[in-house]
Each structure stands twice: as structure tokens, then as C-alpha cells.
């Protein structure tokens, strides 16, 4: 196992070629090109993710417009406190991600490892809180399906009016699909960060090459931003002080 | 035209001629454009065939040519667009006094019910020269009511009404097809439009009528107990439905909608969706308790108790239903009077 | 019939190239060489093409007689569904980008490989996984919703395995997204020194535009499939009115991808045709920048017209007006391209080799297909002909007459580069002619059938026997077309063993890919090229030269 700071001379096509960082892949001319390619690739991928969630958001916005009162009633029944906590958790995790990238850029290995670990911890916290919320919904029979029940829930701001159960079920269907897909992306993110953590622990990242940390960080920030949209859309419909 | 090898459907409605005229125009225009391009290609391919010693001439392009062959096609496209839109407006604007026929599509048949009460399966009898409006819904999946000879088609959706209209110009029997794939017997969901002279049509009508649709609607209205809440003599727990059809209705959430067929249908099947202002949300849903035909009958009945069909869109100042006015009172004054009542309950 | 002006390079000992560098199944299944991955795709999509084609044959055989007597109704419904799904998702969408694009994009820009070779391989595996899932779905009963799987039929009524088919498409869609991602990053970041955007071959511009659509459109159908699967499995009620949903929402989400998808299918083909016309007219393309920007315009406008599939679905008159107008807007860049291609022929020096015959076929058939799109965009006409055979004819003219002709033309044009062998020219010209004739005979009668009123997806037309004559013509054409497609399969395979070895640039064509060996080495170029010339430098290539001095190096 060589120290990653030395460069390597080896043969390709039967000819020795100029020494370079072993992380440079052979189809690239130079490290900057490889970095630029990786970065552009991740941004483009995130654009596709925006379109993916965008389709869902469209469906949500259409039904919210049609069944506003019922959606408001349903939104009231999900725990805003837990949602807000989760928002704070994710924002903190984005901070730890930024720290991790800086640590990689400045060769601070222990800070890098610590920040990655903390990010994962915060991510797990998020999922844990989400799990509690899902369990609450299950217990309250708010999970769409045969045992769904949403009777006598008042519509905020309209005393004496009660939500239509079928329309409220629509809210919960979209709630579970949207937060479920988000959580899935979170789990994938945790997998990525676990790999980053192991690589960082082994000292593979240097100021010259820490691309996986940067683009992993981009992905994490994106997952965070999706939540920043989800939280007000789902939890804060028609809330009054 | 060879009878055994027809190339063109008959023209049997007032719309057909308009559609065909545009089609022929398009055939000519696109034919000419295609001819122009093909002649150039064939001519160039032959004329500039590779000859030894003769080299190709490198030509960058020509902005003038690019602009020309962008602008001219665009103008042509705009002509086609406008013409197509005009024909479409005709097709989607049913005349106000058209006679109405209700259609319920189901896998895999068409159930037709005339306002006068005649029922048909996979057939529709209409008199020649009269405007006919079809009010259609589906019991299950999306279908599409297509009459090639009339050049009309409209998807038939579950959960709402869609409308199409025509005026037949030639007596005869014409194909009716389902044009939206709907399952196993999609190709079996065919029928006939039977266009008859007025006299024949009336003869057909008088044989085997079960009474007008609105009469069955009135019966269902009573059987299901609608009248318990929707009273016409005293204020009830539900809005008075007399004269409601076609009127603007103010909803609990502040919106105002017009009480058209779709609205009435939605109120019966999903009463919470568009709650009327000033009334408690206590109407039970009849989803699953009434068939589509029964809903059609109820809608026909409610339309029949709107004494005159006033133009919609009049701004209602207050209550849902145009209240009966006192002698000498205008509609608006009646509205003000009712609105001033506590609890929003109706006082006639 | 070789156009080469160089003396053929004799190969007494076979040079090392990407094909013979390593042998063994694993060297192929774990390759990261874009050229090998292109061949992996070639084999897989050819397989699916023949499956989809077989279904088409059965459909046309059934329609020979008005009565449904060959297969049962449910079987027929599954046949046209699977024909559509296989052809769209497992043949047309990958075809040119995954085969020709993968092979040529790096070489055309002077790179050694795509930006992400391992993601390229992953892309192929995802395609295979999706394909296997689709095969399994077909073998266990198939799906009968039509490739458009409209709700609520697909969510609440059909008994077939929609979820599996949907997931197969989802996975294949991911493959498409990754291919697009690879191309965009490669074209942005891996161009050789001197290869500016204005010097790129128009094939690259076409693939760039295609990739944009793949990236932005495919995720929407992915989420639509997720929602349909969720509704089906959990009775969620997003699209089914009985559960409170809206079937029109499904249509909007579906067509938001599926309309741009048709531009994914045709743009690469346009790119191929551009290269062929330039080469076989021996001149630069007329209006390079107009053609390049037309590709981008098609990609952008293509996202704005989806509801022209819904003019009779129950949308408002105002929506319909807007989408009709935009549909005419998107027709314009395609027309501009046709005019530019035609103008390129003017004062050219035209050769009639097989690739050029396919290009001529494309020009004719794509023009007809595109012009019939004008009929469909006209609201008044569309009401009558939507959901009839008129639409079927229109899109087959573009997909088959356009995209497949372009694909075959491209396969012939670059075959020497891919395989190091020449295909037999005589047979190739015959095949092109058979395809052209068979195609027109199959699909032209369908325009007439459509205007007459024959709806789509009908397996029995015994109530309308007057439709039979045209259906018989169409089926006759289909058999001819089938022969036309089998021929290249046979002679391409034959040529790999017995074909004449090809020189590096048998067509004396412009483009960096022709500066590599035939077949190329694994890393394409011995030294990174530095580009100092414009695209389509045929003037230079055809300049009179001293005998014996190779031109194309």
C-alpha cells in the first residue's frame, strides 16, 4: 500500500508514460479535467433528481389546490415539532458536510473522519425521527389502505366543518410517497457516506484528490434541499399561531 | 368511388364538410411541399451525380435562404393552425338548445338514454337536421365516442361528464366506434348511429318509451329521500334545488362555481368536495348507491325543475339558490333579504 | 465500389485492436471500453428488435381478416402492448445513442473514452436487467394496457402484471439517463484541443440535444411508474376517480416524458443522416449552425407540446389552442433541417453507396411523416383522426421510416470502422430498396384507413369489412419489410468472417473517427489529436494529391 502522495510511473500500451497521481484515470488528460468531469456529472445527475421529485410535486400541488381544506386538516395531524426538528437535523448535517469537504481540502484527516461520522449520525437521527412519525401514523390509522380512517377532523379556520376522508387519504398517499422516496435517497446517501468514511479512515483522500467527498457532499446537500421544500409543503399548510 | 373499396368516409353531419375542407387543403399544401422537396432531391441526386474530375462546391450556407424557408413554412403553419382552431371551436361549442342524450360507457357497451326516456344499447337514433348534445360518462375506464361519418370524437371519462354534439345531415346508418383502448373487447364496443327523417324518428320514439328521463329522476329523488333535506316548501337542511341548474353557487371556501351537470353529479357522489356556503356538511354520499344511469336521471330531473335556464355567470350576492322573490322584489333584493337571515338558513 | 483514394492497407498480421486485445467472456462483460460496450448494446437491442418485430408480424397477420381468428382478444391486446413497449423502451430509445453514440462520440471529439466508462458499463447492465424483467413479464403472461398504460385501466382494472413491466421500464429508463449523463459530460469536458463547439460534427450536436431530453424527461416517467405501481399495490387513489384521483393527471405526467421521448428517438438519426449526406455529397453541410441550433430547438420545444396527445381527452379548449400552436413551432426546426440536407446535395458530387440510399430513404419518409404531423397538430382534423390508424401511420413513418432508416444507414456507414470489414455493397443496396418499398406498402395504406375511421388497437373489424383491402396491403408490405430487415443481419454477420478487410478510411470521410484504425485500438488515438480544421473538410480531403500519399491521416 503506497502513500497516496507519491506519484507512480507505470506502463500502458507497452510504453512508460509520465508520472501522475494514481487516482488519475487513463482516459483523462489531467487531474483538473477529471475533477471537472466528476463535478459536472454530479450536477447533471442532480438535475435529473429535480425532475424526478418535480413530477411528484406537480401531482401534490394539483390535489392540494383542489382539496385545500382537507389537506390542511390532514397536515395538522402530522407532527410539526418532529418535522421542524428533522429540518434542523438536516441543516446541521449539511454543515458537517461542508466541514468534511474543507477538511479534505486542507488535509485534516481526523476532522474529515469526524465530520463524515457526524453527518451519518445526523442522517440516522433523521431517519429515526421519520420512523417515529411513520409509526405514529400507523397507530392513528392514517396510512392509506384498508384500515385508513380520518373521521371528525376539523378543517382549520372553518369551525364546524370536517375533512373529507377520501381527500385526506390523498394527502397521506402523497405524504408517504414523497417522504418515502426522500428517505430512500437518504439511505442511499448514508451508504455513500459510509464508503467515504472508510476511505477517509484509510487515508485515501488528499488535497489533490478528494473528488468523492465533494460530489458525495453535493448529493447530500441536494437531499437536504428536497426536505427544505417538503417540510413547509407538507407540514405547514394553513397553520395558524 | 368504388363501393367495395371506399377511401373516404361519408359526410353526414354539418361539421364533416368543414373538417374535410381543411383536410383537402392540408393534402394539397403538404403534397406541394413534399413534391418540392422530392423533386429537388431527385434532381440534385441525378444532376450532381459523382463524375470523375468534377469536384463538389463547398457552400457554407445562406442566411437569406434560411430565413425564407423558415418564414414561409411558418406562415403556412399559422394558417393551418388558425383554420384548425376555428373548426375545433365549432366542434366543441354545442348549441344551447340542442336536445340532450345521456351516454354511459361501460366495458364493453354503450348505454344510451334519451331525455324523453328511450333507452338504447350500442345504438343511437337521432332525427336528421336537429342539434344533438351527448352528455357522457363512464362506469369504469376511459372510452371514446367516435362517429367517423360526423368527424367527431370525445373521450368518455369515469368520474365526470364530457360533452360532444352534432347535427346529422343525411339519413342513414353510420358506424359508432370506441376509440380509446379499454380492455379485452375494445374492438367489440361498436354500434350504429341511426339517423332518421323526423317522421320516422317520432314513430320510433313513440314505440316503447318509459317516460321522460326527468320523471324517473323525480321518482329516484323521492325514493332515496333527497326531498327530506332538499325541500322546496320550507328551508331544509340542504339547499333548495328548484331553479339551481345553471346558476352560480357560492361555496364554503369562498369560490363560486356554476351548477352545471358535472357539479350536480359531484354533489351526489362526493358531497364534501364543493360544499355550499351556509349549510352543514351532513349530506351523505351516494357513491355506490346509485348507478350512472340513475345519476343521469337525477340530473335531468334537477334540470327540469329549473323553471327557465337563465344565463349563467350572473353575480350572486348571497345565497346559493335564487330564492323565490316576493312580489315586486328583484332577484338581487331577494338575495339580500335571505343573506340577512341568521345562520344563513333560507327563508322564503 | 470502394471510394477510397488510398491504396488499401494490407494486413498480413492482424494489428492489435479493441476486438482482439483480449479474449474471453469476462473481458467483454467487465469491459469499460466504450467500443465494446457499444457492441454489447448492439447484440442486445438487435435481440429486442426482432422480438418486437415478431409481435408486429403477428399483429399484421391477425389483421389480414376482419374476424379475430388468429389469436384471442386478450392475446392480441398483449401483442400490441408488448410490441410498443419493447420497440420504444428496449429498441428505439437506446438504439443509436447506445450503439453508434457510444462507439463514436469519444472518437469524434478526439477522446480516449467517455467521461465515465464504468457508469457506461453500468448503463448496459441496467438495460439488461430491465430487459430480463420485461422478458420475464412477457413469458408470464405479458401486459395488455397498450404501451401508454392509461389509468384507471392500468391501475384498477387489468389483471396483468403491470408492476413488473413498469419496473422493467423504470430500470431501462435509468440506463437511458446514465447514457445521457455520460454524453453531456463527455461533450463538455473531453473535447480534444482545438475542437470547439463550432467544429463538432453535427452527429455530436444531435446526441447532445438527445441527452438533454433523456436527462430531463426520463425521471418524470420514472415517478409516474412509481405512482402507478403504488396505486396498484396499495390502492392509493392518485389516478382512479373511484378512489378520488384524476385520470387526466396520469396522462399529463405520462406524455410529459413520452412526447420528448419521440425526439430522443429521432434526433440521433438526424445526426447520422447529416454525416452520411455530407460524406456522400463530398461537401460540408449547408447551414451548419442552423442545423446545430435546430437540434437544440427541437429538444427545448419538444418539452412544451405534450398535451397534443390529449386534444379529445377532456382538456379545455384554451389548453388545446396553446398546445396546437406550440406543436407547429416544434415542426419548424425539423423542416429547416430537411431543407438544409436537400441544399447540401446541390452542387455536390453524389455517390449512391448503401448508406446514402438509406439517407435518401430517410429524407423521403421522414418528410412524409413530418408533414402528416401537421395534420395531427390541426385541432379540427385531430378530433377525427386521433386514436385511429392515421396516428399509427404517422409515427411509424417517423420511427421506422426515419429513426430505423437512420440507424441502418449509420450501421452501414460505420461498419468498416466497427468491424474492420466491408459489407457486400450489392446486397446492401438491395436491402435498402426492399426496406423502402416494404415500408411504404405497409404504412401508407394506414393513412387512408385512419381517415376512413378505423380505430387503433382493434383486433376484430368484422363490423367494418370495407377496411380489409387496405389491411391486406399493409400486411403484404410488412412481410416485405421483414425480409428487408433480415438481410442486413445475415450479411453483416457474414462480413465479419468473409468480408473484405477495410482500410482506415474507406469512404475518405471527414471526422476524427476516421483517423483511427479500422477497427480502432482500445484507446482510439495513438496521440491526442489537435484540431485545426473545420468540420466536414471535404475540400481538403478531395484535394488532388500525389499518388501513393495517404489522404486520411
**Alpha-carbon torsion A210, A213, A215, A217, what sign?**
negative
Q: Which residues pair with B27 in a beta bridge?
A: none
CB-based contacts of B292: which residues, under 8 Å, 6+ apart?
Answer: B104, B106, B137, B138, B139
Measure Cα distances from C194 to B140, C381, C534 in Å. 62, 50, 10
Separation of alpha carbons A8 and A42, rounded Å: 28
Contact A158 B280 (CB under 8 A): no
- C52 backbone φψ class: left, alpha, beta (φ>0; ψ -120 to 50): alpha
Contact B253 A69 (CB under 8 A): yes
Specify whether the CB–CB gap between C161 and C143 falls below 8 A: yes
Contact B57 C363 (CB under 8 A): no
Check: pTM over 0.90? Answer yes or no: no
Specify whether the CB–CB gap between C538 and B58 falls below 8 A: yes
- What is the grid cell recorded at C413? 456507414
CA-nearest of B249, B241, B245 to B317 is B249
For chain C, which residues make up each domain, given as ranges? 34-536
Residues 69-108 of A with CB under 8 A from B: 69-70
- Which CATH number fits the domain B7-45+62-211, given the four candidates 2.30.130.10, 2.60.40.420, 3.40.50.920, 3.40.50.300? 2.60.40.420
CB-based contacts of C123: which residues, under 8 Å, 6+ apart?
Answer: C37, C98, C175, C178, C179, C182
- Residue B292 exposure: Cα atoms within 13 Å on the Cβ side: 23
**Hey, what CATH topology would domain B213-344 get?**
Cytochrome Bc1 Complex; Chain D, domain 2 (1.10.760)
Higher pLDDT, B274 or C303: C303
**Residue A241 to chain C, least CA–CA distance (Å):** 31
pLDDT band with cut points at 50, 70 and 90 for residue C545:
low
- What is the grid cell recorded at A25? 484515470
Residues 178-217 of B with CB under 8 A from C: 178-188, 190
- Name the residue facing C241 among B34, B159, B183 (closest C-beta): B159
Question: Does B287 contact A at CB distance below 8 Å?
Answer: no
Specify whether the CB–CB gap between A86 and A129 falls below 8 A: yes
- Residue C67 exposure: Cα atoms within 13 Å on the Cβ side: 1
**pLDDT tens across C219-246, in order?**
999 999 999 999 999 888 899 998 888 9
- Name the residue facing C177 among A37, A48, A55 (closest C-beta): A48
Question: Does A164 contact B at CB distance below 8 Å?
Answer: yes
Contact B187 C287 (CB under 8 A): no
Higher pLDDT, C339 or B230: C339
Q: Which residues of chain A have pLDDT under 70?
A: 1-22, 241
pLDDT band with cut points at 50, 70 and 90 for residue B2:
very low
- What is the grid cell recorded at C53? 418485430
Separation of alpha carbons A217 and A97, rounded Å: 6
Residue-averaged pLDDT of chain B: 84
Question: Cell 399559422 belongs to which residue?
Answer: B78
pLDDT(C522) > 70? yes
Question: Does C319 contact B at CB distance below 8 Å?
Answer: no
pLDDT reported for residue C9: 58
Contact B58 C539 (CB under 8 A): yes
Looking at beta carbons, which residues of chain B come within 8 Å of C342? 37, 40-41, 44
Percent of chain B whose predicted confidence (pLDDT) is above 90: 53
- Name the residue facing A41 among C116, C223, C523 (closest C-beta): C116
Domain of A62, CATH number, reads 1.20.120.80
**pLDDT tens across B11-56, in order?**
999 999 999 999 999 999 999 999 999 999 999 999 999 998 888 9
pLDDT band with cut points at 50, 70 and 90 for residue B306:
confident
For chain B, which residues make up each domain, given as ranges? 7-45+62-211, 213-344
CA-nearest of B134, B96, B98, B163 to B312 is B96
**Residue A151 to chain B, least CA–CA distance (Å):** 13
pLDDT reported for residue A15: 45
pLDDT band with cut points at 50, 70 and 90 for residue B235:
confident
pLDDT(B318) > 50? no
Looking at beta carbons, which residues of chain B come within 8 Å of A162? 281
- Name the residue facing B252 among A67, A158, A167 (closest C-beta): A158
DSSP string, B108-120: TEEEEEETTS-EE
Percent of chain A whose predicted confidence (pLDDT) is above 90: 71
pLDDT reported for residue B252: 78
Does some domain include residue A7? no
**pLDDT tens across C29-67, in order?**
999 999 999 999 999 999 999 999 999 999 999 999 999
pLDDT(B333) > 70? no
What is the β-pairing status of strands B131-138 and B99-106? parallel
Identify the weakest region by mean pLDDT among B73-82, B323-332, C14-23.
B323-332
ipTM over 0.95: no
> Domain of A149?
30-235
CA nearest A63 in B: which residue? B273
Separation of alpha carbons C87 and B72, rounded Å: 36
Q: Which residues pair with B119 in a beta bridge?
A: B113
pLDDT reported for residue C259: 97
Separation of alpha carbons C28 and C125, rounded Å: 12
In CATH terms, the superfamily for domain C34-536 is Cytochrome c oxidase-like, subunit I domain (1.20.210.10)
CB-based contacts of B197: which residues, under 8 Å, 6+ apart?
Answer: B127, B128, B171
pLDDT reported for residue B286: 85
> How many structural domains are present in chain A?
1
pLDDT band with cut points at 50, 70 and 90 for residue C281:
very high
**pLDDT tens across C81-138, in order?**
999 999 999 999 999 999 999 999 999 999 999 999 999 999 999 999 999 999 999 9
Burial level of C364, CB count in 10 A (0-12/13-18/19+)?
buried
Helices (H), C282-404: 288-302, 317-345, 354-377, 379-385, 389-398
Looking at beta carbons, which residues of chain B come within 8 Å of C452? 6-9, 148
* Residue C38 parent element (H or E): helix C34-62
- Name the residue facing C189 among A36, A56, A173 (closest C-beta): A36
Same fold, B7-45+62-211 and B213-344: no
Amino acid at each position: 500500500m503506497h502513500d497516496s502522495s507519491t506519484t507512480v510511473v507505470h506502463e500502458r500500451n507497452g510504453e512508460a508514460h509520465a508520472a501522475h497521481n494514481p487516482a488519475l484515470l487513463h482516459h483523462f488528460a489531467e487531474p483538473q479535467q477529471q475533477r471537472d468531469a466528476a463535478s459536472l456529472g454530479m450536477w447533471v445527475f442532480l438535475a435529473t433528481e429535480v425532475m424526478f421529485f418535480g413530477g411528484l410535486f406537480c401531482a401534490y400541488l394539483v390535489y392540494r389546490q383542489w382539496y385545500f381544506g382537507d389537506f390542511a386538516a390532514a397536515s395538522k395531524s402530522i407532527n410539526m415539532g418532529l418535522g421542524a426538528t428533522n429540518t434542523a437535523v438536516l441543516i446541521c448535517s449539511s454543515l458537517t458536510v461542508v466541514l468534511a469537504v474543507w477538511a479534505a481540502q486542507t488535509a485534516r484527516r481526523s476532522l474529515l473522519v469526524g465530520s463524515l461520522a457526524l453527518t451519518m449520525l445526523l442522517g440516522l437521527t433523521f431517519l429515526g425521527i421519520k420512523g417515529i412519525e411513520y409509526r405514529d401514523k400507523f397507530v392513528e390509522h392514517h396510512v392509506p389502505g384498508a384500515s385508513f380512517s380520518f373521521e371528525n377532523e376539523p378543517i382549520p379556520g372553518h369551525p364546524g366543518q370536517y375533512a373529507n376522508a377520501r381527500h385526506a387519504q390523498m394527502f397521506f398517499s402523497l405524504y408517504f410517497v414523497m417522504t418515502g422516496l426522500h428517505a430512500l435517497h437518504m439511505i442511499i446517501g448514508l451508504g455513500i457516506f459510509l464508503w467515504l468514511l472508510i476511505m477517509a479512515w484509510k487515508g485515501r483522500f488528499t488535497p489533490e484528490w478528494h473528488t468523492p467527498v465533494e460530489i458525495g457532499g453535493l448529493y447530500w446537500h441536494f437531499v437536504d434541499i428536497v426536505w427544505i421544500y417538503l417540510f413547509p409543503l407538507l407540514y405547514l399548510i394553513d397553520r395558524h399561531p | 368511388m368504388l363501393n367495395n373499396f371506399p377511401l373516404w368516409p361519408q359526410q353526414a353531419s354539418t361539421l364533416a364538410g368543414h373538417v374535410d375542407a381543411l383536410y383537402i387543403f392540408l393534402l394539397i399544401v403538404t403534397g406541394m411541399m413534399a413534391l418540392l422537396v422530392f423533386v429537388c432531391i431527385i434532381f440534385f441526386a441525378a444532376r450532381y451525380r459523382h463524375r470523375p474530375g468534377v469536384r463538389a462546391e463547398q457552400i457554407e450556407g445562406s442566411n437569406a435562404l434560411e430565413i425564407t424557408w423558415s418564414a414561409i413554412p411558418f406562415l403556412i403553419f399559422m394558417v393551418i393552425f388558425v383554420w384548425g382552431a376555428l373548426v375545433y371551436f365549432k366542434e366543441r361549442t354545442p348549441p344551447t338548445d340542442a336536445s340532450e342524450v345521456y351516454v354511459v360507457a361501460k366495458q364493453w357497451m354503450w348505454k344510451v338514454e334519451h331525455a324523453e326516456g328511450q333507452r338504447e344499447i350500442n345504438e343511437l337514433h337521432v332525427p336528421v337536421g336537429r342539434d344533438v348534445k351527448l352528455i357522457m360518462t363512464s362506469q369504469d375506464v376511459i372510452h371514446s365516442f367516435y362517429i367517423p361519418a360526423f368527424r367527431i370524437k370525445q373521450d368518455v371519462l369515469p368520474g365526470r361528464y364530457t360533452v360532444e354534439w352534432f347535427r346529422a345531415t343525411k339519413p342513414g346508418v353510420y358506424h359508432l366506434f370506441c376509440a380509446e383502448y379499454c380492455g379485452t373487447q375494445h374492438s367489440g364496443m361498436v354500434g350504429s348511429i341511426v339517423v332518421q327523417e323526423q317522421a320516422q324518428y317520432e314513430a320510433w320514439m313513440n314505440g316503447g318509451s318509459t317516460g321522460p328521463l326527468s320523471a324517473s329522476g323525480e321518482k329516484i329523488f323521492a325514493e332515496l329521500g333527497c326531498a327530506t333535506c332538499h325541500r322546496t316548501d320550507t328551508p331544509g337542511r340542504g339547499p333548495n334545488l328548484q331553479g339551481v341548474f345553471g346558476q352560480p353557487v357560492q361555496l364554503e371556501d369562498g369560490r363560486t362555481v356554476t351548477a352545471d351537470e358535472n357539479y350536480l353529479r359531484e354533489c351526489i357522489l362526493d358531497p364534501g368536495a364543493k360544499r355550499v356556503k351556509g349549510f352543514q356538511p351532513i349530506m351523505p354520499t351516494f357513491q355506490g348507491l346509485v348507478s350512472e344511469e340513475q345519476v343521469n336521471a337525477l340530473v335531468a330531473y334537477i334540470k327540469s325543475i329549473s323553471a327557465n335556464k337563465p344565463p349563467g355567470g350572473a353575480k350572486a350576492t348571497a345565497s346559493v339558490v335564487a330564492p323565490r322573490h316576493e312580489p315586486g322584489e328583484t332577484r338581487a333584493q331577494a338575495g339580500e333579504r335571505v343573506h340577512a337571515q341568521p345562520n344563513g338558513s333560507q327563508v322564503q | 465500389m470502394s471510394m477510397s483514394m488510398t491504396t488499401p492497407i494490407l494486413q498480413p498480421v492482424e494489428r492489435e485492436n479493441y476486438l482482439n486485445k483480449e479474449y474471453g467472456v469476462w473481458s467483454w462483460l467487465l469491459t469499460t471500453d466504450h467500443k465494446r460496450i457499444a457492441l454489447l448494446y448492439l447484440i442486445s437491442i438487435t435481440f429486442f428488435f426482432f422480438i418486437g418485430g415478431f409481435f408486429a408480424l403477428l399483429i399484421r397477420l391477425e389483421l389480414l381478416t376482419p374476424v379475430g381468428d388468429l389469436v384471442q382478444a386478450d392475446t392480441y391486446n398483449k401483442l400490441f402492448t408488448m410490441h410498443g413497449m419493447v420497440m420504444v423502451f428496449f429498441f428505439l430509445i437506446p438504439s443509436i445513442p447506445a450503439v453508434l453514440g457510444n462507439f463514436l462520440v469519444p472518437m469524434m471529439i478526439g477522446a480516449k473514452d467517455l467521461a465515465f466508462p464504468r457508469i457506461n458499463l453500468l448503463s448496459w447492465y441496467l438495460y439488461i436487467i430491465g430487459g430480463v424483467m420485461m422478458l420475464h413479464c412477457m413469458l408470464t403472461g405479458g401486459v395488455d394496457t397498450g404501451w401508454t398504460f392509461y389509468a384507471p385501466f392500468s391501475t384498477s382494472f387489468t389483471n396483468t402484471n403491470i408492476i413488473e413491466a413498469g419496473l422493467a421500464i423504470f430500470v431501462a429508463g435509468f440506463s437511458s439517463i446514465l447514457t445521457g449523463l455520460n454524453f453531456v459530460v463527455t461533450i463538455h469536458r473531453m473535447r480534444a484541443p482545438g475542437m470547439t463547439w463550432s467544429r463538432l460534427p453535427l452527429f455530436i450536436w444531435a446526441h447532445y440535444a438527445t441527452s438533454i431530453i433523456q436527462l430531463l424527461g426520463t425521471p418524470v416517467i420514472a415517478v409516474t411508474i412509481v405512482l402507478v405501481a403504488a396505486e396498484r399495490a396499495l390502492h392509493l387513489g392518485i389516478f382512479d376517480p373511484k378512489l378520488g384521483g384524476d385520470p387526466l393527471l396520469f396522462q399529463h405526467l405520462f406524455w410529459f416524458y413520452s412526447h420528448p421521448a419521440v425526439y430522443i428517438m429521432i434526433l440521433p438519426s438526424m445526426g447520422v443522416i447529416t454525416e452520411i449526406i455530407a460524406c456522400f455529397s463530398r461537401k460540408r453541410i449547408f447551414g451548419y449552425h442552423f442545423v446545430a441550433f435546430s437540434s437544440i430547438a427541437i429538444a427545448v420545444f419538444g418539452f412544451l407540446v405534450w398535451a397534443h396527445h390529449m386534444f379529445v381527452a377532456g382538456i379545455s379548449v384554451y389548453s388545446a389552442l396553446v398546445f396546437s400552436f406550440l406543436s407547429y413551432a416544434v415542426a419548424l426546426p425539423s423542416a429547416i433541417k430537411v431543407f438544409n440536407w436537400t441544399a447540401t446535395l446541390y452542387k455536390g458530387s453524389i455517390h449512391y453507396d448503401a448508406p446514402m440510399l438509406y439517407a435518401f430513404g430517410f429524407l423521403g419518409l421522414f418528410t412524409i411523416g413530418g408533414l402528416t404531423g401537421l395534420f395531427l397538430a390541426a385541432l379540427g382534423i385531430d378530433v377525427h383522426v386521433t386514436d385511429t390508424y392515421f396516428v399509427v401511420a404517422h409515427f411509424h413513418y417517423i420511427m421506422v421510416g426515419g429513426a430505423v432508416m437512420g440507424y441502418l444507414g449509420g450501421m452501414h456507414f460505420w461498419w468498416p470502422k466497427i468491424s474492420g470489414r466491408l459489407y457486400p455493397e450489392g446486397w446492401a443496396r438491395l436491402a435498402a430498396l426492399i426496406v423502402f418499398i416494404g415500408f411504404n406498402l405497409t404504412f401508407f395504406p394506414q393513412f387512408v384507413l385512419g381517415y376512413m375511421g378505423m380505430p387503433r388497437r382493434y383486433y376484430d373489424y368484422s363490423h367494418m369489412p370495407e377496411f380489409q383491402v387496405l389491411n391486406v396491403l399493409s400486411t403484404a408490405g410488412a412481410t416485405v419489410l421483414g425480409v428487408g430487415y433480415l438481410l442486413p443481419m445475415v450479411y453483416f454477420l457474414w462480413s465479419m468472417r468473409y468480408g473484405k478487410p477495410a482500410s482506415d478510411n474507406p469512404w475518405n470521410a471527414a471526422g476524427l473517427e476516421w483517423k483511427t484504425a479500422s477497427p480502432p485500438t482500445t484507446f482510439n488515438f495513438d496521440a491526442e489529436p489537435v484540431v485545426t480544421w473545420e468540420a466536414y473538410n471535404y475540400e481538403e480531403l478531395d484535394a488532388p494529391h500525389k499518388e501513393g500519399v495517404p489522404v486520411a491521416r
